[in-house]
Structure 1
Amino acid sequence: MKKTIGMMAGVLLGFSSMAQTITIEGDLAGDLKGHNKMYLYSRTYHDSADINNGHYTFKIPFKEPMFLMLLPQYVQAERQMYVPYGVLFDRPVTYTVKSDISKGMSESVVKGSEATELLLAYGKEKSAAWGKIVEALKSEFGAPWMDEKDPKYADFEKRRAALQVQYLLPLLQQLVKQHPNSYASVYSLNDSREMATVAQQEQLYAGLSKEMKATGQAKEFHQFSEGLRNSAIGKQVKDFSLPDPAGKPVKFSDLKGRYVLIDFWASWCGPCRKSFPHMREVYQQYKDKNLVFYSISIDKSKPDWLKAVSQENNPWLQSLDDKNIAGSGFAITGVPTTYLIGPDGKIMMKEVGFDENGNGEIEKKLADLFGGTVKAAAPAAAAKPAEQKITPAAMLQ
């Protein structure tokens, strides 16, 4: 009897293990010229599969929904223009991906789960909407983009934002309204971060089912909405505590009475790390003043964070954001982003990036506060780093 029970338990365990696996069955038509590999990746996941007679297979342990990119080796080898092609894998089922190398991955047909198909259909609707936005900008400004130095740049950005609200926001609102219990809706919430008001974001979250509201990504999105209110200039920073590299808690309230420069960064963010040499120069200039430098990493991988901290060896406070303070407290949409906090704990300034060439507004403010001078970087330094956005994929990891 015990043996029978043991055998049954083994069968059930094996079935459970099988059920928690994502299987991708892919077909890629066309002449691959011997470049017979398909790559599957995200910021923290990398895998590859051989393509045999146009067919490839991936098997991935399922722990939570994942957004992964598919890249044929052919595209790299033939130096074709690569447009990232991502697929949402929200359930431990079998997905089929049918593609033609001559048409590009964007024309792939993916089947597997309702959420996957919904997200791909929503993506095509967004592409069509962006086409309208581009045409409108070309008509009004003569081009679909504009340099920041152009005198019309502010008007251009204002109009672009208005067009996004006109053409893109209704698509997202419709998706959530029609599919409140789909992970496709949860995953797409991030689209609203830069084009919806706080009230509109809260309405989107409220429109989700109870089950979807309980997902980690929906919770982070809701916290981001709170962060928009919490991070306004003049707002008092709510106390928080995050671990330093040794695991010791760093309490923000312990820094009160001093100016605090908070730098949000990540180990994988090139512009963040490129800014550190000049940031170290600024630190040396003001380290004896009433100023604290504090870097907070949004890394999802603690080992990656610790490795980067060791490599950079920055001589100031370091913490890992394991409580999503970046979202709930400061509404971070991209890194690097820097905040200057006053001795009273209120937010004084926000700046995307820490300019490696010494042209940043926060650095100018520090010079005003402490009677110093703006310490320009060496002539060989590269141009001002651009903001590196947090993509939905990064948020999922």
Structure 2
Amino acid sequence: MRNLISLIAAALVATSASAQPFSLTGTVKGVESGKIYLQRFSNKMFFTIDSADIRNGAFAFSRKPALPELYGLTLQPAGSPYFIFLEDRPITVALDSAKYYSNTIAKGSAAQDFFTAYRSRRDVKIDELIQSAPASIATVYILYRDYSYRLTPDEIDRYVQQLDPSLQQTQYVKVLRELTPVLRKAAVGNKAPDFTLAGVKGETVKLSDHFGKYLLLDFWASWCGPCRRENPNLVKAYEKYKGKGFDIFAVSLDKDKSSWLKGIADDKLAWTHVSDLAFWNSAPAALYGVRAIPSNVLIGPDGVIIARNLRGEELEKKLAEILH
């Protein structure tokens, strides 16, 4: 953590000494001509806001975006972007078209340097991270993106208060402030929020119609690797306990129906499935404060939440306890 603190301190000194306005220029290894797209990050999705021509392997964006903020650079409008934090100073990018993440180099952004250092470590505690750089846009993004799904509402509120006032109006703090009351409402001991959604055949399916058994409300998606790896555990639990008062109700965060249905068939998920095909704008996910998948909520026969995010052996142990 000391190296991270030293890095951000040095970067902030360099930042304060620079009075040059924003510019974003760069090169693209392996591409001589074409287009490069600038995308803004919002709710775990990227949306194209600008493009620039690539000439002789070089590019320059002329329009200043909202700053500071996380953006993405990609060679395809729907492609996977290179994450880059932009600030109001000159930033250069040497983009490797073949290896976005391992070989691309960005210079000029203190937040980018901080984020790169953070990504290289595995033992970072969020309270220490905030203390080291309370005013960095990268810090609030990391809190929002990597930690919010495993924190309690009280912890989220406390960490948000520790951020610099300059970050309080960012989209990330806005989401976190909206998240805490949702998490409190969908906490263990409370009645499970009800919803109605379309099933695999377009039929109307209501969550509360499935109360009466111990019901695992599972949030997943066919595109989610960890979800697909967890599915065999769910299949095993379902087969073992479905005759003892256990059922599963799955909500998919897919956006393509054919991929969703194929995932159900391939993984042999023989329980109720619903989706609004809205990706991270999934209404049930928002209702339960789901910020990462796989995620689940175990609901008792009376419709009251009794546990959250039980996986593998933890789920097996809990089901053995209540359905012995």
The reply to whether TM is greater than 0.5 is yes
* 2:322 paired with 1:369: yes
Paired residues of 1:198 and 1:228 also in contact (CA < 8 A): no
For the residue of structure 2 that corresponds to 1:287, the secondary structure is helix
Paired residues of 1:25 and 1:55 also in contact (CA < 8 A): no
* 2:276 paired with 1:336: no
* Shift in alpha-carbon separation, 1:302–1:362, aligned structure 2, 3 A: same
Q: Distance in 2 between matches of 1:86 and 1:283?
A: 39
* 2:284 paired with 1:325: yes
* Shift in alpha-carbon separation, 1:224–1:288, aligned structure 2, 3 A: same
Q: Distance in 2 between matches of 1:204 and 1:320?
A: 37
1:343 Cα deviation after fit:
0.9
Paired residue for 2:307, among 349, 357, 361? Answer: 349
* Shift in alpha-carbon separation, 1:106–1:45, aligned structure 2, 3 A: same
Paired residues of 2:251 and 2:284 also in contact (CA < 8 A): no
Unaligned residue ranges in structure 1 (runs of 5+) = 1-23, 59-64, 72-83, 90-95, 110-119, 135-143, 146-159, 177-183, 372-397
The code of the aligned residue for 1:249 comes to: T
Paired residues of 2:216 and 2:249 also in contact (CA < 8 A): yes
TM-score, normalised by the number of residues in structure 2: 0.61
Q: Which residue does the alignment assign to 1:279? A: 234
Q: Distance in 1 between matches of 2:292 and 2:111?
A: 24
Paired residues of 2:130 and 2:139 also in contact (CA < 8 A): no
1:203 Cα deviation after fit:
6.0
Q: Give matches, 1:176-187, under 5 Å.
A: none
The code of the aligned residue for 1:328 comes to: L
Q: Distance in 1 between matches of 2:315 and 2:202?
A: 30
Q: Distance in 1 between matches of 2:24 and 2:258?
A: 32
Q: Which residue does the alignment assign to 1:85? A: 82
Q: Distance in 2 between matches of 1:247 and 1:261?
A: 22
Aligned residues: 271
1:228 Cα deviation after fit:
2.3
Paired residues of 2:133 and 2:139 also in contact (CA < 8 A): no
The code of the aligned residue for 1:367 comes to: A
- RMSD of aligned residue pairs (Cα, Å): 4.9
Q: Give matches, 1:45-64, under 5 Å.
A: 53-55=56-58
* 2:72 paired with 1:68: yes
TM-score, normalised by the number of residues in structure 1: 0.51
| Greater C-alpha radius of gyration | 1
* Shift in alpha-carbon separation, 1:209–1:240, aligned structure 2, 3 A: farther
Q: Distance in 1 between matches of 2:72 and 2:156?
A: 29
Paired residue for 2:93, among 96, 99, 106? Answer: 99
Q: Which residue does the alignment assign to 2:130? A: 168
1:348 Cα deviation after fit:
1.7
The code of the aligned residue for 1:236 comes to: K
* Shift in alpha-carbon separation, 1:107–1:175, aligned structure 2, 3 A: closer
1:260 Cα deviation after fit:
0.2
Q: Which residue does the alignment assign to 2:14? A: none
1:316 Cα deviation after fit:
0.5
Q: Which residue does the alignment assign to 1:244? A: 199
The code of the aligned residue for 1:68 comes to: G
Q: Give matches, 1:140-219, under 5 Å.
A: 145=123, 160-161=124-125, 164-168=126-130, 171=133, 174=135, 190-191=144-145, 193=148, 194=150, 197-200=155-158
Higher strand share: 2
Paired residues of 2:130 and 2:162 also in contact (CA < 8 A): no
Paired residues of 1:224 and 1:328 also in contact (CA < 8 A): no
1:293 Cα deviation after fit:
0.9
Q: Distance in 2 between matches of 1:291 and 1:66?
A: 43
Q: Which residue does the alignment assign to 2:17? A: none
> 1:222-253 deviations in whole A, cap 9, x for unaligned?
44222321333222212222221223232222
* Shift in alpha-carbon separation, 1:368–1:230, aligned structure 2, 3 A: same
Unaligned residue ranges in structure 2 (runs of 5+) = 1-22, 62-68, 76-80, 97-101
